[in-house]
Structure 1
Amino acid sequence: MLDPVRVYNEPCDMVMAKDGRPRSFEWRGRQYAVVKVLEDWESTRPWWREPLPGPLDHVVYHYRVRASSTRGQGVIEVRRQYEGWFVTAVLD
């Protein structure tokens, strides 16, 4: 298992595949193509502390992906939640 070397909580602009998984994204002005989804999982936000419009709005979808940019490939964790998509970690 890879350990996070840089942890973030920064928004990104995501393009999703038809199945809702990440296909490509822009982050910090750089374009990334998702080469492969390595892992995915769901979690739930603390709904009792952060009220949102609907019960499904508390589900957070996490993806660990191999992504390619002009600088090469790397493993990046992204998540989708009510507010949008975020880059959460870059792994070695």
Structure 2
Amino acid sequence: MSRLYGDPIEVWTREGQPTQFVWRDRLYLVRRVLDQWVVAREWWKTREGDPGERQFWRVEASPGRDLGSYELRFDTASEGWLLLRAWD
């Protein structure tokens, strides 16, 4: 079962891939990238006409021993990360 969140997170990357993130004051280590995709934003929804991209990652990560799946999003226009979804 998955749950939707949309919570801002802090993410560390290596070579463009997320390696760890902090969500709700807990550090999660990314064990494996399961999927990655990019969606272009519509130019009319931005102020300067620069659409940017939204980069998505589905990862396996854990704050300790419990491994879970998480969907992360990076918005190139705002340079912000969100945790969108988590699977039990």
Q: Select which of 74, 81, 85 maps to 1:85.
A: 81
Match of 2:53 in 1: 59
Count of aligned pairs between the two proteins: 86
- Structure 1: give runs of 5+ residues left out of the alignment: none
RMSD value over aligned CA atoms? 1.7
> How far is the alpha carbon of 1:51 from its aligned partner?
2.5
- Structure 2: give runs of 5+ residues left out of the alignment: none
Q: Distance in 1 between matches of 2:20 and 2:44?
A: 33
Q: Select which of 36, 41, 47 maps to 1:40.
A: 36
Q: Select which of 9, 12, 15 maps to 2:12.
A: 15
TM-score normalised by L of structure 2: 0.87
> How far is the alpha carbon of 1:91 from its aligned partner?
1.6
Runs of 4+ in 1 over 3 A off after TM superposition: 52-55
TM-score normalised by L of structure 1: 0.83
